Amino acid sequence: MKIQQTNIAQQYQAIRQKSEEICLPLETEDYVIQPMPDVSPPKWHLGHTTWFFETFILKPFKVGYEEFNPEYNFVFNSYYETVGKRVLRTDRGNLSRPSVTDIYAYRRYVDWAMDKLLQETEGRSKILQLVILGLNHEQQHQELLVTDIKYILGHNPLFPAYNKTHVQQSEPADKAGEMMTIEEGVYQVGYTGEGFHWDNEKGVHKVYLNKFEISRQLVTNGEYMEFIQDGGYTDFKYWHAEGWDWVKANQIKAPLYWYLKEDCWINYTLNGLEEIKNDNAVYHISYFEAYAFANWKGMRLPTEFEWEVAAANLDWGSRWEWTESAYLPYPSYQKAEGALGEYNGKFMVNQHVLRGASEATPQGHSRTTYRNFFQTGARWQFTGIRLAK
């Protein structure tokens, strides 16, 4: 859903409901698990997105609003130094309380207050801007819910399925190995529309690009299998030094969720354990692995600017695609004042940009200027590979 100012109350209800629908297949015990620091328990996501509306909209704008529970600011604040102290990210899985029941009651309480606020007119322009921001924020957490739930269930020794009707996207066989050429020139990048966008997309500017070629399709499981079978994980020459250290320290031998069982590769999907489908786009790949694979192929990863310029002619959206670009501010980038200024700017160090979207991205939440970013060793997101040369 692409969020607009018209019918904002209905859009608010639909997006808030979608978060809960994502959690419907879960058992109560699933809501609390945190297998690693990057993964937050599902109940924390439900509470945090609710806290966002309460903290940044209801408390400052709803006359007479009373917090559901003042202690929730400590529990559900994520990283906003401006807002106060918070539970350490690594300790979110220790929160047996508030209960799942409490958090759903919290959502009902805040949603009722938000519905009343959206019927008022005073200060409506500022409120609508913040609501749209909050809904886009919740959509980001919907994607995190899917990927975090997959990690939680995928590290359960029983490998339970989340959704046995989930369909993975296959790459078109008729485009296998096909490259598209982009001529050298000066191109404009950055967001130019009137709709919602994050501050890290602002700063429209021109970039010079040398002539390059970029693959029309993503790297598939079958292609990545060849890399494994050719000793890709045992030959240091394909890797950055830090990537090679990462491989050795973590004993990495394949993408996340891949297992070799009786000489047959299987992987954990949202459907549960399945044989690997060679035509599906490979995913759960770190930047280290993406770089090594590209090096093995005698190619490279595209820069984020090459990707954006080529995107209109690419089939994208099933995997977040690693680029060869460090996550840095655009020219004239300025952080917003206050707590919301902490949203992107302070993370512009030691991260790489990913472009596109994934099958976990909510509909209408993607665009060609969207700049996702993660640390180089991250694999739990739906991250894949597109080659360039």
pLDDT in tens, 294-351: 999 999 999 999 999 999 999 999 999 999 999 999 998 887 776 666 677 788 899 9
Residue 64 reports pLDDT greater than 90: yes
SS3 353: strand
Q: What is the pLDDT of residues 72-106, one digit of tens each?
A: 999 998 877 666 788 888 889 999 999 999 999 99
Which helix (H) or strand (E) is 289 found in, with range?
Answer: helix 287-296
Say if residues 98 and 354 touch (Cβ distance below 8 Å).
Answer: no
Q: Tokens representing 280? A: 């599906």
Q: Tokens representing 55? A: 């903290």
Mean pLDDT of 222-240: 98
Residue 10 reports pLDDT greater than 80: yes
* pLDDT (0 to 100) of residue 332: 84
Task: Please state which of the four CATH numbers 3.30.465.10, 3.40.50.2000, 3.90.550.10, 3.90.1580.10 is assigned to the domain occupying 173-384.
Answer: 3.90.1580.10
Residue that wins the pLDDT comparison between 365 and 7 = 365
Residue 67 reports pLDDT greater than 90: yes
**CB burial class (10 A; 0-12, 13-18, 19+) of residue 89?**
middle
> What residue ranges do the domains of the chain occupy?
8-154, 173-384
Residues 289 and 225: their CA atoms lie apart, in Å, by 13
Q: 366 phi and psi, to 5 degrees?
A: -110, 155
Residues 28 and 26: their CA atoms lie apart, in Å, by 6
* pLDDT (0 to 100) of residue 2: 66
Residue 135 reports pLDDT greater than 80: yes
Q: Domain 8-154 belongs to what architecture? A: Up-down Bundle (1.20)
Same fold, 8-154 and 173-384: no
Mean pLDDT of 99-128: 91
Nearest CA to 200 out of 58, 286, 383, 328 is that of 328
Q: Tokens representing 212? A: 């390059």
Residues 75 and 34: their CA atoms lie apart, in Å, by 15
Q: What is the pLDDT of residues 43-55, one digit of tens each?
A: 999 999 999 999 9
* pLDDT (0 to 100) of residue 253: 97
Residues 39 and 90: their CA atoms lie apart, in Å, by 9
Q: What is the pLDDT of residues 191-205, one digit of tens each?
A: 999 899 999 999 899
Residues 154 and 36: their CA atoms lie apart, in Å, by 12
Residue 123 reports pLDDT greater than 90: no
